[in-house]
């Protein structure tokens, strides 16, 4: 028997979460330990910002595309759009090309009515997405990157180096949950040693405490604990903490992750 601990917030219904479903289909049990909470930033300001994008659409230098790489940013933008009563603004923003990473975020964007989604499953990380965008220059030369307060500069840096204007717009902040380490330790203390246990990291944000705890546990060899990373950025973070992941998803999606875990 294998149990997988996902260090993330589950879907509103944990039983229908795509990662829980993938684990169940592979005859694995699973649980979630959230390590971050997310809060929108200045929604009224975002509403005005979106309206300004539409107002400048006929100018000599309009925004020609959007970049949204996280589900929280999608939710922030979608929430702001729903507050706008001018349907022409909603329709215009939803018609703009949206560049994103991974199938999960791509599907979420589509569920909010965006119709021109690029990257997605073809872009497994920010570096690949940035290369896709720059390869489409000059069709896309001025974009807005809706993102969180803490984000890597891979996409903006690459685009600017390739002559594409990338405007960063912070739409949410992430706050580390103070009880995450306690809940994770409690889970380990109640763990049946006969069950193969995996811990999956989805991001470096908020994960340092649990990573340090796992590094100590693995050095003591007290629990048969395996570690997986959702992609190369998280893998790099774990290696810096002294943890070499036993599995790294080739794409940031449930099936790819479970495939690597099962192959191991």
Pair 49, 169: CB distance under 8 Å:
yes
- Which CATH number does the domain housing residue 86 bear? 3.40.50.10090
User: Which one of 159, 175, 191 terminates a domain?
Assistant: 175
- Does residue 85 sit in the same domain as residue 169? yes
| Type and span of the H or E element at 32 | strand 29-32
- Per-residue tokens: 184: 């994770």
- The strand pair at 165-176 and 36-40 is best described as antiparallel
- Does residue 129 sit in the same domain as residue 147? yes
- Does residue 160 sit in the same domain as residue 256? no
- Cα 198 to chain centroid distance, Å, stands at 20
Instruction: Please work out, in degrees rounded to the nearest 5, the angle formed at the alpha carbon of residue 133 by the alpha carbons of 71 and 94.
Output: 50
Range of the domain at 248: 2-35+177-263
- Does residue 123 sit in the same domain as residue 184? no
- Per-residue tokens: 139: 């069709």
pLDDT per residue of the chain (264 residues) written in tens, 0 to 9 = 889 999 998 876 777 788 999 999 999 999 999 998 889 999 999 999 999 999 999 999 999 999 999 889 999 999 999 999 999 999 999 999 999 998 888 999 999 999 999 998 888 788 999 999 999 999 999 999 999 987 778 999 999 999 999 999 999 998 888 899 999 989 888 888 778 899 999 988 889 999 998 988 888 776 778 999 998 889 999 999 999 999 999 888 899 999 999 998
Pair 206, 180: CB distance under 8 Å:
yes
- Does residue 102 sit in the same domain as residue 227? no
- Per-residue tokens: 210: 């649990």
Q: What pairs with residue 29 in β-bridges?
A: 3
- Does residue 21 sit in the same domain as residue 92? no
Q: What pairs with residue 143 in β-bridges?
A: 65, 166
Q: Show the DSSP H helices in 101-231 as ranges.
A: 103-111, 126-135, 154-161, 180-189, 208-220
User: Which one of 115, 142, 175 terminates a domain?
Assistant: 175
- Does residue 155 sit in the same domain as residue 43? yes
pLDDT of residue 56: 96
Query: CA 77 to CA 67: how far, in whole Å?
Result: 11
- Does residue 51 sit in the same domain as residue 169? yes
- Percent helix / strand / coil, the chain, rounded to 5: 45, 20, 35
- Does residue 149 sit in the same domain as residue 205? no
Query: CA 77 to CA 143: how far, in whole Å?
Result: 15
Smallest Cα–Cα separation from 263: which of 248, 243, 241, 242? 248
pLDDT of residue 253: 85
- Does residue 216 sit in the same domain as residue 100? no
3-class DSSP state of 116: coil
- Per-residue tokens: 57: 């659409």
- Does residue 63 sit in the same domain as residue 161? yes
- Does residue 51 sit in the same domain as residue 28? no
Residue that has been written with the tokens 């390590």 in this structure:
35
pLDDT of residue 117: 97
The count of domains in the chain is 2
User: Which one of 175, 201, 218 terminates a domain?
Assistant: 175
């Amino acid at each position: 028997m294998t149990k997988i601990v996902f260090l993330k917030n589950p879907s509103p219904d944990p039983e229908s979460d795509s990662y829980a479903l993938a684990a169940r289909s592979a005859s694995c049990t699973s649980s979630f330990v959230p390590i971050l909470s997310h809060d929108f930033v200045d929604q009224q300001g975002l509403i005005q910002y979106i309206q300004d994008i539409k107002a400048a659409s006929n100018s000599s230098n309009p925004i020609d595309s959007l970049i949204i790489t996280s589900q929280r940013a999608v939710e922030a933008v979608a929430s702001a759009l729903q507050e706008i009563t001018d349907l022409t603004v909603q329709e215009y923003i939803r018609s703009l090309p949206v560049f994103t990473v991974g199938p999960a975020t791509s599907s979420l964007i589509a569920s909010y009515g965006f119709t021109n989604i690029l990257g997605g499953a073809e872009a497994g990380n920010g570096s690949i997405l940035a290369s896709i965008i720059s390869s489409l220059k000059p069709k896309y030369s001025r974009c807005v990157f809706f993102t969180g307060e803490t984000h890597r500069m891979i996409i903006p840096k690459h685009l600017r180096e390739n002559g594409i204007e990338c405007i960063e717009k912070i739409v949410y902040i992430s706050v580390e949950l103070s009880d995450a380490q306690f809940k994770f330790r409690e889970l380990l203390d109640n763990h049946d040693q006969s069950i193969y246990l995996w811990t999956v990291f989805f991001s470096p944000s908020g994960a340092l405490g649990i990573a340090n705890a796992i590094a100590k546990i693995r050095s003591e060899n007290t629990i048969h604990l395996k570690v997986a990373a959702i992609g190369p950025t998280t893998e790099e973070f774990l290696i810096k903490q002294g943890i070499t992941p036993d599995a790294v998803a080739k794409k940031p999606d449930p099936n790819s992750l479970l495939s690597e875990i099962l192959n191991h």
